[in-house]
Amino acid sequence: MMRILSLEVAQQTILRRTPFEEVAPPPHMAERIRRTFGEELTPSQLVDRILRDIREQGDTALRDYARRIDGFVPEPLEVTAAEMDAAWEALDQKVRQALELAAGRIRDFHQKQPVTSWLSAQPHETLGQLVRPLDRVGLYVPGGTAPLPSSLLMSAIPAVVAGVAEIIVATPPQQGTGAAISPVILAAARVAGVRRVFKMGGAQAIAALAFGTERVPRVDKIAGPGGLFPVLAMRKLFGVVGIAGLPGPTETMVIADESANPAICAADLLAQAEHDELASAILLTPSEKLARQVQAEIDTQMTRLERRSIIAVALERNSGIVLVDDISQALTVANQYAPEHLCLLTRDPWSLLGQVRHAGGVFLGEQVGEALGDYVLGPSHVMPTRAVARFGSPLNVLDFVKLVSVFSADAETVQAITPAAIVLAEAECLTGHAAALRIRLSKDA
């Protein structure tokens, strides 16, 4: 049963943010670590070991971790063109059409993003910036317990729109299939325009992309959502490689008043809780009646869902229904929490939008469910989690380009502004800078 909490209790429990390094894995995960590695290791300690081994041993360590963690070594490591073609041909026509529709809408949305080079040519100077796509990016696509072709589309298409020359996808083989990548993920790669997919997951995949191995190309930047271990690896590798955010276990926050449909509220919370045992699903409402109704709906709907064992853990660990005084207080709490997904299921959601300051994405009204945004609305569903929305953005085209500044000025402008630059250089005690400026003022220069 989903708990109903006062705001005071919630602020001490489910609304508190625990640093990634301190997140305690579920008991079965901790036991698996102990059994696999023969000792008690925190997730952070295990990731440190994996990063060190991949950096020092490359493919040898990659094979070893595949054998120890997954129970098999996928060979070949890289998906062949024949495998991708076969996956596409074997796919149900309805799934193909759905992938193509989603890809088209995602592409249309990101093509509207204003990402252009510009030069401002004045009579005496030209300044500007060049927009250049990254050479090679790595995309992590979860796929062990459930294939997520939508995450591939949502990560790859912004990179394709940006003009990235080479896109490398890392995704784990689906559990129970031996070394096979889910055909629907391979089909999504084809629709998105991705040609290189590697059968690897977890922190070891992130390390291989960051450092490069004999078989895995080193990338310039890594993007995509992940569970605890991939996100810990991304956090630790920032600076070794570019990291486009840290989108970890999913989270959703629903704000609802007494007009909300309890069945819809419950369905939205369950939809995100089924992703991961570390997922978070929170309802804020001033209506105790709605809270009770949603609680009952969750119990009813959960029995019909295949991943109810995962949902049960997520609801117990990280989720709850929080009673607030009013919708204004709910928005204050939401801005403090800065959720990945914020759903406004109220009488007039548009009147509240201006008060939203921190959220990865805002879903307005009952007709536009969060799950629809996960697949076909258009904006990328790879969004900031764990309060990163206070300063971070959803994955977008800008994550896959860099800016190069352009400087040019004629002699008259140089003569006019250089004295001020000399003053500033001397104020900083950088005499070499001052000398380099003065030499351009010399008539003999």
Question: In the sheet where 221-223 sits, what is the strand order?
Answer: 196-199, 166-171, 136-140, 221-223, 242-243
What are the φ and ψ backbone dihedral angles of 43, each rounded to 5 degrees? -55, -40
21 has catalytic annotation:
no
- Burial code of 259-275, b = ≥16 C-beta within 10 A, e = fewer? ebebbbbbbbbbbbbbb
Tell me the sheet residues that pair with 254.
283, 343
Residue 268 near residue 411, CB atoms below 8 Å: no
Neighbouring CB atoms inside 10 A of 293's CB total 18
Three-state secondary structure call for residue 145: coil
Tell me the sheet residues that pair with 169.
139, 197
What CA–CA distances, in Å, run from 44 to 18, 19, 23, 111? 13, 11, 9, 38
Distance CA 11, CA 333 (A): 9
Residue of 341, 366, 370, 381 marked active site: 341
Q: Are strands 280-285 and 251-256 parallel, antiparallel or unpaired?
A: parallel
Peptide bond before 262: cis, by omega within 30 degrees of 0?
no
Three-state secondary structure call for residue 126: strand
340 has catalytic annotation:
yes
Task: Locate the DSSP E strands across 157-228.
Answer: 166-171, 196-199, 221-223
344: which 2 tokens?
């406004």
Residue of 251, 274, 297, 340 marked active site: 340
DSSP state string for 306-364 = TTHHHHHHHHHHH-EEEE-SSHHHHHHHHHHH--SEEEEESSSGGGGGGG--S-SEEEE
Catalytic residues: 340-341
